[in-house]
Amino acid sequence: MGLFDRSASKLAGRTAVLFAADPGNALTDAVRLYDPSVRSWPGRLICANGVLLFGPVTVTPKLEQQAGLPPGMAVAYYTGIALQSHQGRRTDEDKQGDGDLLAQALADRLGGVVRYAGAPPEPDVALSVWSEQAVAPEQVIEVLRPYDEGDFKVEDQTKNSYSLYGVGTYLLVSYWSPQLYLEKDAPPALGQLRSRPLHHWDLSVGRSRKVVAGDVAARAGQAARALAGRCGGVALDEYGFPLTP
């Protein structure tokens, strides 16, 4: 089987993000936001979480037909799964899921379309904050109050975790201490911070951006950025990209 046929086979069986025009360096720059330590090899990008992104592949009419691609596309990239050391190993399912989310985020940012290998992901608005600095639950509630006027209570508290929710809150906040932190499961966007034991908060709305009101998603983002500012940490979106104003 020739190289051309292998490209068609890969594009037909993998999640792919396609563009009507080559995004060029803009795609590499976007992936560096997702993973500042991304490694570049000929024809591929290698992320710290085990996600591979192959390309660019020029889409010819014959390749479009063989791989069953939508018409009008000029360039394609497709995802893969990297082999990892035993210490940093993640499941193939987790890596595939992260690859699908990365493809969707790149399409949204750069004007592409995604053709999924399986069912399209529909992630909830679930923002995360990561920090070396602890913040007491009561202080977290103070930070959240301008963005969610519900009656937050500390619930399900243990030595290393707790939840914040209550009557009228649209956010569910979950916390895990550094004792529960696993570097291999942390988002690569954290960069060098990823190698240190971190405090971790998730701020979830419980619905995807397709169905949640725009102002609710915006306020959730503001709350996550405010918490990150309070603890000197990093706020990420549900795709693993840093939150920006």
pLDDT digits (tens, 9 = 90+) for 206-231: 988 888 888 999 999 999 999 999 99
Residue 12: CB partners within 8 Å, gap ≥ 6? 66, 67, 68
Widest pairwise Cα distance in the chain? 63
The tens digit of pLDDT for each residue in 52-95 reads 999 999 999 999 999 999 999 999 999 999 987 655 578 899 99
Give which of 17, 26, 46 is closest to 104, Cα–Cα: 17
**Between β-strands 113-115 and 16-19, what pairing exists: parallel, antiparallel or unpaired?**
antiparallel
The tens digit of pLDDT for each residue in 133-168 reads 999 999 999 999 999 999 999 999 999 999 999 999
Name the residue ranges covered by the structural domains of the chain: 3-115, 124-236
The mean pLDDT value for 110-133 works out to 95
Class of CATH domain 124-236? alpha beta
- CA–chain centroid gap for 180, Å, is 20
Burial bucket for residue 239 (CB in 10 Å: 0-12, 13-18, 19+): buried
Q: What is the pLDDT of residue 87?
A: 57
The tens digit of pLDDT for each residue in 182-203 reads 998 999 999 999 999 999 999 9
Measured CA to CA, the distance from residue 166 to residue 156 in angstroms comes to 12
Q: What is the pLDDT of residue 2?
A: 43
Q: What's the CATH code, domain 3-115?
A: 3.30.70
Secondary structure of 143-183 in HEC code, one letter for each residue: HHCCCCCCCCEEECCCCCEEEEECCCCCCEEEEECHHHCCH
Share of the chain above pLDDT 70, in %: 96
Measured CA to CA, the distance from residue 47 to residue 155 in angstroms comes to 36
| The pair of three-digit structure tokens given for residue 105, joined into one six-digit string | 């985020």
Contact 53, 31 (CB under 8 A): yes
Contact 152, 142 (CB under 8 A): no
Give which of 59, 63, 89, 64 is closest to 5, Cα–Cα: 63
Residue 3: pLDDT over 60: no
Residue 10: pLDDT over 90: no
DSSP string covering 57-101: EE--HHHHHHHTPPTT--EEEEEEE----TTT---HHHHHHHHHH
Q: What is the pLDDT of residue 126?
A: 95
